[in-house]
Structure 1
Amino acid sequence: MKEKNHYHDSLETKNKDCSTHLLITAPTHFLDDVRDEIENKYKVTYAYGASYSQLEEVVSEIDAWIVDPGANYKIDLNILGLSKKLKILVSPSTGSDHVDLNYLNDESIIFDCLKGKEHIIKEIHASAEFSFALLIAMIRNLVPAAKYASDGFWREKEEELRGIELNAKTVGIIGYGRIGKKMARYCNAFGAKILIYDPYQEKDQDWITQVNTMDELLMVSDINTVHVHLDESTRNLIGHREFGLMKKSSYFLNTARGGVVDEEALIDALENNLIYSAAVDVISGEQEEGISSHPLIQYSKNTKKLLITPHIAGATVDSQYKAFKFALDKVDDFFNL
């Protein structure tokens, strides 16, 4: 079973005399000024870290909900069905796979998220910065190196930890949106050659080479990195066939969504040396119980070929402030506050 967040709100409701009840399950405990602003406008219940069953007890009277996209539950039909007064639900994230959008649509409940809000998300850098950091950690074996040092080993582990330079390598970027563009700039600054594949975007820099098919990119890139939204057109975008096209010396990075990659195919590619190494910040079924038994996590326990982080790409004070302010502004606009 997943552990609960170390910090959690007390589920205390403030400004009870206000008529508009706002539930906030997104983290705000480090945003004191924002909380003061909220408490001047709404009857507000802070519920970051609350369990699914605890939320079932408070959702019936809420008018609005700013959700936590990183919660260990899905905002599904069952809990939404208890929210008889709910008028608007906002997620401070670009993704929406943690919310039952079909129910919201059927019940005419307004939903919004950061997807498509380019004027806001272009100023949010956390996910791109983390993606680049994870890429460097992968090709330089930073995590096992740190573990060896803490265990008292030093240069005697050098053979296991020898990595590659990013300079002069070919980085293939699948998805040239907000994060893809920033990744291209970061990698270019380190001297890498940049290839992009995106049927909906055009290159905007002379130092980028845009290819017409994903196959072209996969076959020549030293590092393949995925930055696309998850929908039915991108589900299992990278599978057995795609891994088979990659160089055996190549590295693979996914900080988009777990469902973009056929995870069984990823394990097979690593196990059979079809690619050299991989790093992911996302896996399938993140809102499900028993995540410790997930096949990727189990596989990572006994290999240095796979580096996994717990979907923390967007987890900075700066980015979460900007994303939450977007969500709060949407709720304010809806209620004309």
Structure 2
Amino acid sequence: MRIAILDDYQGVALSLADWDSLGADVHVFGDAFEDEEAVVAALAEYEVVVAMRERTRFPASTLGRLPHLKLLVTTGPVNAAIDLDAARRAGITVCGTGYFGYPTVELTWALILSAARMVPQQVDSVRRGGWQEGLGTSLRGATLGILGLGRLGTEVAEIGRAFGMRTIAWSRNLTPADAQAKGAEYVSMDELFARSDVLSIHLVLSERSRGLVGERELGLMKPTAILVNTSRGPLVDEAALIDALTGKRIASAALDVFDQEPLPAGHPLRTLPNAVVTPHIGYVSRDLYEVFYRDAVEDIAAWSAGTPVRTLF
């Protein structure tokens, strides 16, 4: 059995699970594939592929060109980058793994604090031989806006209250009673953008939510406001955000997700001084990776024995 482990950027996959127990030929790919042709060329001979979240796309056109692929394991319980219907038609079993969201919640607050207190600028100043640079802001008494008060949004809001922040929230299916039960004030979408000192996005990407935060919404925000996105890049109109940051119509953005990942080398968000940028590491923590790869090995062993587990259809 030939197994491909994809997008192991840190080179840790083999050390975090007992791959030897499978008695298979395991190959690790450490870099992202440039396009579909590169995916097909690299994976054409593999029976089993382990995908890291949504870093590599598997649409019908790709799956149809991988004749030897029989099992596709995705880390996490869902993966919007895999066409499940096409996989089913092709006779490819798709399995997931365990998951927990608190690493993303923790990173959200790391980004909020970094942007509010200008941590990247201060660190850079010290490294250049300088000292204090710019003037950050405190969070106590500020308004935290949550766009999407689901599981992760609720946990982010709970931490905001520990900082002494007021919490307001909006999403399409949120009701005033639901918001109140979660310790937040329900507001309209426009009011959310207008009142928030820190606005954190926690929505699932869909055709309804794609580009939900655009030029109009950014234009409603305070010039002192911070926009935070640890969900999915396409929820925000990236061009409109870059324009707002360049024109200093909002104070800053703290981002872990982008339209194109990895972020291209010459992308403006890499150099804008009022953008705090991390390389989609919300879920990248040792404890979660141990769950991912341990469960992936279990998935492969169970499938090989004819009793697949954690199937996604």
Structure 1-normalised TM-score? 0.77
Residue identity matched to 1:129: E
Matched residues, percent identical?
Answer: 27
Partner of 1:187: 160
SS of the residue 1:285 aligns to:
coil
Name which of 135, 138, 153 aligns with 2:115. Answer: 138
Q: Distance in 2 between matches of 1:270 and 1:26?
A: 31
Q: Bigger shift: 258-267 or 175-184?
A: 175-184
Deviation of the 1:149 alpha carbon: 0.4
- 1:203, 1:210 within 8 Å by CA — same for their partners in 2? yes
The CA RMSD over aligned residues, in Å, is 2.9
SS of the residue 1:46 aligns to:
strand
Residue identity matched to 2:53: P
Q: Distance in 2 between matches of 1:294 and 1:76?
A: 26
Name which of 32, 47, 65 aligns with 2:49. Answer: 65
Q: Distance in 2 between matches of 1:336 and 1:95?
A: 20
Partner of 1:6: none
Deviation of the 1:60 alpha carbon: 3.6
- 2:190, 2:220 within 8 Å by CA — same for their partners in 1? yes
Q: Bigger shift: 45-54 or 25-34?
A: 25-34
Q: Distance in 1 between matches of 2:205 and 2:307?
A: 33
SS of the residue 2:26 aligns to:
strand
Unaligned runs of 5+ in 1: 1-19, 115-119
Partner of 1:216: 191
Runs of 4+ in 1 over 6 A off after TM superposition: none
Residue identity matched to 1:316: S
Residue identity matched to 1:178: R
Name which of 210, 224, 242 aligns with 1:235. Answer: 210
1:96 and 2:79 matched: yes
Matched ranges for 1:29-178 at <5 A:
30=12, 35-36=17-18, 38-49=19-30, 52=33, 56=40, 59-69=43-53, 71=55, 74-75=57-58, 79-93=62-76, 96-101=79-84, 103-113=86-96, 120-121=98-99, 123-155=100-132, 157=133, 160=134, 162-178=135-151
Q: Distance in 2 between matches of 1:269 and 1:315?
A: 29
Aligned residues: 299
Structure 2-normalised TM-score? 0.82
For residues 302-327 of structure 1, the C-alpha deviation after alignment (integer angstroms, 9 at most, x for no partner) is x4211211111211111111233344
Deviation of the 1:271 alpha carbon: 2.6
Q: Report the CA distance shift for 1:44/1:306 in structure 2 as closer, same or farther (over 3 A).
A: same
Q: Report the CA distance shift for 1:246/1:22 in structure 2 as closer, same or farther (over 3 A).
A: same
Q: Distance in 2 between matches of 1:39 and 1:261?
A: 42
SS of the residue 1:265 aligns to:
helix
Q: Report the CA distance shift for 1:180/1:113 in structure 2 as closer, same or farther (over 3 A).
A: farther
1:336 and 2:307 matched: yes
Unaligned runs of 5+ in 2: 309-313
Deviation of the 1:84 alpha carbon: 1.4
Q: Distance in 1 between matches of 2:265 and 2:13?
A: 31
For residues 177-224 of structure 1, the C-alpha deviation after alignment (integer angstroms, 9 at most, x for no partner) is 23212211211111111112233453474632233x322211211111
Q: Report the CA distance shift for 1:275/1:33 in structure 2 as closer, same or farther (over 3 A).
A: closer
